[in-house]
Amino acid sequence: MEWGAGPQNSSQPTHQLMKCPTWLTPALFVVTALLVGIFASVWLVPTKSPQPYPGMGGDFTLSAISGPVALSDFEGKAVLVFFGYTHCPDVCPTDLARMGQVLNALTPAEKAGVRGLFISIDPERDTPQRIADYARFFHPSIIGLTGTPDDIDRIAKQYLVLYQKAGIGESQAGYLMDHSTKTYLIGRDGHLEKVLGHELEASQVLAAVRDVLMSDA
């Protein structure tokens, strides 16, 4: 008998991998798929941006015939904003007439929650009285606003409005103004919601206004 030698037939411990039952594999697949779906629904679903036009728009204060008027004065209402001038021969009357049609088409309840603003890009000639009379001609809910050249320039930049004098001496008024022809729809929270083109019909603008009223309700 040799010292230190163990029994020749002693078995050594063995390590074997356990096989999953055949029914467990599809079950694990289903559970994994469910977990992935839950994760995707929580983390990957896109959310609506609170500001469709980030960095564009914002509050401002200008002069009306009644005194200073700020966009924030109309918090809780949808606001249609158009930049133009009272000597405009074509685009401004067309767009303001469309704005008037939209306001007339609203129900009394809707109309209480909507205002129109007409901002002059020609403060040299558009006094508060002149622009007030001009705006009211198209609808009593449209407020005419003007200000200093610096005020108008700053607000125009906020809304990416382009304008400049043109056709000097070509009209009885002395000059014309080239300018952007967009109407800006402000939501009840004061954020710019939609930019509406000159080519749109009144019915399309009306639908946009109602969409904002419904989404902000």
pLDDT digits (tens, 9 = 90+) for 164-212: 998 765 556 679 999 999 999 999 999 999 999 999 999 999 999 999 9
Q: Is 59 helix (H, G, I), strand (E, B) or coil?
A: coil
What fold, for 61-69+77-215? Answer: Glutaredoxin (3.40.30)
Residue 144, both tokens: 């005419």
Q: C-alpha 216: how far from its chain's center? A: 12
Q: What is the pLDDT of residue 21?
A: 54
* Domain range list for the chain: 61-69+77-215
| Residue 151 host element (H or E) | helix 149-158
Strands 67-70 and 61-64: antiparallel
pLDDT in the model for residue 11: 46
Give average pLDDT by consecutive 10-residue segment, the chain, 217 residues: 42 47 48 43 42 87 97 97 95 97 97 97 96 97 97 96 81 81 96 96 97 82
What is the model's pLDDT at position 169?
59
Q: What whole-number distance in Å separates Cα of residue 175 and Cα of residue 166? A: 6
Strand, helix or coil at 164?
A: strand
The pTM assigned to this predicted structure is 0.75
CA 159 to chain centre: 11
Strands 192-196 and 163-166: unpaired
Closest by Cα among 137, 138, 155 to 146? 155
Q: Up-side HSE of residue 38: CA atoms within 13 Å toward CB?
A: 6
Q: What does the alpha-carbon distance between residue 60 and residue 203 come to, in Å, rounded to a whole number? A: 28
Mean pLDDT of the chain: 82
